[in-house]
């Protein structure tokens, strides 16, 4: 019986350590968002048809690199502002139509990649 309990404890301990710090799945990243440093999700590679980001994206507060590419994402939730450690953010090949003002509050952001999106050609005059 003691051996069985020991095996279960070891398994539980190892299972807790399997949480990704460099994730390729949004669902996996959101299981323990504080541990995530990198999230890379490519629609072509994963077969994902993600069309929006959940507000829970703001829980990835320790993330430094996030790549969303070739997805149907049209909008970015305002909770993006909580990603204060973010250095690289990519929405290449998505379907973004606009950017939230909150994205400009990310003071550590060094790269914002927005290639091949659906931004309007019209510009607003202030």
| CATH assignment of the domain containing 80 | 3.80.10.10
User: In whole angstroms, how far apart are CA 92 and each of 17, 30, 51, 111, 112?
Assistant: 31, 22, 14, 12, 9
Number of domains in the chain: 1
pLDDT band at 44 (very low <50, low <70, confident <90, very high): confident
Q: Torsion over CA of 116, 103, 62 and 54, rounded to 10 degrees?
A: -70
* Mean pLDDT computed over 5-32: 67
Is the model's pLDDT at 8 over the cut of 50? no
Identify whether 122 is part of a domain: no
Q: Which domain range does residue 76 map to?
A: 20-113
Q: Which pLDDT does position 47 carry in this prediction?
A: 77
Identify whether 27 is part of a domain: yes
Identify whether 126 is part of a domain: no
Is the model's pLDDT at 96 over the cut of 70? yes
* Mean pLDDT computed over 16-35: 86
Identify whether 37 is part of a domain: yes
Identify whether 26 is part of a domain: yes
Identify whether 39 is part of a domain: yes
């Amino acid at each position: 019986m003691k051996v069985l309990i020991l095996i279960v404890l070891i398994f539980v301990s190892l299972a807790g350590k399997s949480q990704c710090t460099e994730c390729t799945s949004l669902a996996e990243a959101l299981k323990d968002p504080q541990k995530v440093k990198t999230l890379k999700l490519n629609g072509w590679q994963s077969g994902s048809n993600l069309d929006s980001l959940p507000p829970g994206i703001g829980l990835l507060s320790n993330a430094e690199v996030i790549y969303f590419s070739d997805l149907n994402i049209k909008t970015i939730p305002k909770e993006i502002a909580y990603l204060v450690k973010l250095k690289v953010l990519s929405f290449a090949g998505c379907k973004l139509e606009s950017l939230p003002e909150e994205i400009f509050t990310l003071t550590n952001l060094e790269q914002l990649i927005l290639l091949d999106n659906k931004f309007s050609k019209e510009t607003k005059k202030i």
